Structure 1
């Protein structure tokens, strides 16, 4: 009963305080799933409360999905909904962070490059030159497929003019690209496969399409092919979604062997592959060589999605996709139905930015700066979290994916709340799985928004909490 002890603030309704306290205990696993809560009389006596106060607190817990009343038995905690409640809490924290209200926090959740490295001078010069060259035309709606010269420039700079530029579709970032492709390819009850774990934004899109989602575990060079083949043997699959480099969150990069095997399976079993080319510009380990799955795609099975927002110009929502000719029209129609056009001015600016090769120098700078942070954080983790976590250094990207050792009594949801109280934000693994009860031993720490001083301080705080949990 001692965990229910609570010091009340006389200025706040007591049933609200009791509700919030029990909710927090459920979220941090101090109250387990299906654990019976104290009876109304018992809790009222323990806290010296009116029974109506406890009744109202229990009713609110039930309304919010944190408890379930069983007639004649009592009230029981609902842990599954507690994880859903955590996700709402995480989302609210993230929104406050993005609005600038948590600037004093050490942010290990960031997924885009830091504004500190934003090429303001180059972009300002390009924008001025675009407006001088094109005038008001730069501000009008563009072709729904995207600014023609930008599509030509992408074909030239990234694909060696090996494509028909009409096969390139400009989109407002990778997330919109996934959404557009899903609307074009996936219908209700279609079967799709994702990595386990996988990017939460993609999971949300596939769930919104009411698809049947199969998960395949990731090995150190890509998905488990045997597990994938077992699913393909029993089910008709529409598509497979994956990240080819520094996968979010696992940090795994695919071997060329597995890329080629996946393409063979796609042709053999008649499904399509959605390749989310995530952070492949940031390679720090010389043993890792870049080759997209799309570059091996002799069967025309790959939908390739690339965002410029993550790397070149954070905050400017521009990306592109290339899709198989079979779905070209439906994907383009899906884009038109989603929005009229991606920003004309920004497309023209990006085209000039590429034409002048500013992007090459910018990527070189990012690789230098982020390799420094990567090596520093890697060493901090290896030294200060040794024996408390397990991880595999990814050799690139912007984050590490850590697993708590078995001797640590916390879940990463509990760790999240404890760290937040001390000014540090992480991303627990539950955000990356189809089922909410998975991933509680994993968490992601990124270094895109933190310099080395903040990395050192943040890892020190994590180490303090894990040492206490180990005791």
Structure 2
């Protein structure tokens, strides 16, 4: 009996193609900000493109002490699964903090999230069906546009001015478009840095009350105020409390690597978000939550130190813009936050100019990707918190050289 040669074996059948990716993954592009950061990661680049807190200001010792304390005192709890809603100690401390700022809040009003970005994703899952309409400021926080796009929503831009969304235009769009929600960053907005005044906030709340629409109020930067007085949340306005979700984050004031955020929402919507979170990650890491709850005792003192440094850096950027930008450019003076928004003369295209600016070892974010409506190609966003005043001065000198070609 002979054994057939290996060459006599039948050829394997061709592999069947795999099912395609979900269509929504192709409809939403990646983040241009992340793409720019990848290109400009070289240490010699002065990077005004990111929205990154200054790492040298992280309270490494204070945060490490909080982690050591919870791991030494409650190791079993710290390393165990937690509830989806979040650790009671953190929710109670946060509720007291929020109530102290004029918005009555109980621990049960809050859901702890893995960064406020997850809060946006959970709300999109809980509120949006494919084809639903979402209203946003124009321009708008880029990652929010990604969340709404991935949910299959139709995104419509609300006209804005120096004070934020125009309430009359908002009401007209609500009547015409029948949106599920209006998304806003009213305090030190990303990308523009502007702040919506109290009267404008009350007008926006009144539109939501009259017309029946959710308001998603995102407040990641509110603690970073350098000038002026704090403006109450939209969620605290009469008529808005039963239809406003307030989102907050520890990323800009404690450390983004902890991935800790929270949302405050009416009960039915909060429960729906908790169900969505169970499907996403079960709960936010327990040890991070307990350490943050411990660290809240000293957070305000830390934020005061950060504000002092960031305020100097904002002033350094504002002082150098006139020499760096072309004649006829305009820019704002943010009262807080992380960003300056500039508009060059209409003949400039900041997307087209970016490669020649990067060759000068400096970077910004072109404004166009932040627009849900027709983009303004002459705009750009500059982050001022990550560099020292000296680095900012040198970066602006390079920026000026790059813009001149």
Q: TM-score, normalized by length of structure 1?
A: 0.76
- C-alpha contact (below 8 Å) 2:90/2:292 kept by paired residues: yes
Alignment of 1:365-444 (within 5 A): 365-385=305-325, 387-406=327-346, 409-434=347-372, 438-444=375-381
1:264 aligns with 2:206: yes
Aligned pair partner of 2:78 in 138, 145, 150: 138
1:463 aligns with 2:393: no
The alignment's C-alpha RMSD in Å is 1.9
- Unaligned runs of at least 5 residues, structure 1: 1-83
- Once the two structures are superposed, residues 197-232 of structure 1 have per-residue CA deviations (whole angstroms, 9 ceiling, x without a partner) of 001100011111111211012211120122212212
Determine helix, strand or coil for the equivalent of 1:213: strand
Alignment of 1:184-203 (within 5 A): 184-203=126-145
- Deviation, 1:88, is 7.3
Residue 230 (structure 1) aligns with: 172
- Unaligned runs of at least 5 residues, structure 2: 1-27
Q: CA–CA distance in 2 between the matches of 1:88 and 1:112?
A: 15
Determine helix, strand or coil for the equivalent of 1:315: helix
- Once the two structures are superposed, residues 64-122 of structure 1 have per-residue CA deviations (whole angstroms, 9 ceiling, x without a partner) of xxxxxxxxxxxxxxxxxxxx99x77764342355xxx5222101022131111000111
Q: CA–CA distance in 2 between the matches of 1:166 and 1:324?
A: 10
Residue 121 (structure 1) aligns with: 61
- C-alpha contact (below 8 Å) 2:360/2:401 kept by paired residues: no
1:239 aligns with 2:176: no
Q: CA–CA distance in 2 between the matches of 1:325 and 1:88?
A: 33
Aligned pair partner of 1:216 in 142, 158, 171: 158
Q: CA–CA distance in 2 between the matches of 1:338 and 1:139?
A: 19
- Once the two structures are superposed, residues 333-392 of structure 1 have per-residue CA deviations (whole angstroms, 9 ceiling, x without a partner) of 1111111111111100000011xx210111100110001101111011134436242112
- Deviation, 1:152, is 0.3
- C-alpha contact (below 8 Å) 2:220/2:248 kept by paired residues: yes
- C-alpha contact (below 8 Å) 1:428/1:439 kept by paired residues: no
Aligned pair partner of 1:445 in 367, 382, 385: 382
Q: CA–CA distance in 2 between the matches of 1:332 and 1:374?
A: 38
Aligned pair partner of 1:285 in 227, 230, 236: 227
Count of equivalent residues: 375
**Greater shift after overlay, 289-298 or 455-464?**
289-298
1:149 aligns with 2:89: yes
1:94 aligns with 2:37: yes
Structure 1 consecutive aligned stretches of length 4 or more whose deviation exceeds 6 Å: none
Larger relative contact order (Cα-Cα within 8 Å, sequence gap ≥ 6):
2
- Deviation, 1:274, is 0.1
Distance 1:414 1:272, change over 3 A: same
Larger Rg: 1
Q: CA–CA distance in 2 between the matches of 1:395 and 1:163?
A: 27
Q: CA–CA distance in 1 between the matches of 2:52 and 2:362?
A: 18
Q: CA–CA distance in 2 between the matches of 1:235 and 1:127?
A: 48
Determine helix, strand or coil for the equivalent of 1:275: strand
Determine helix, strand or coil for the equivalent of 1:276: strand
Residue 296 (structure 1) aligns with: 237
- C-alpha contact (below 8 Å) 1:113/1:449 kept by paired residues: yes
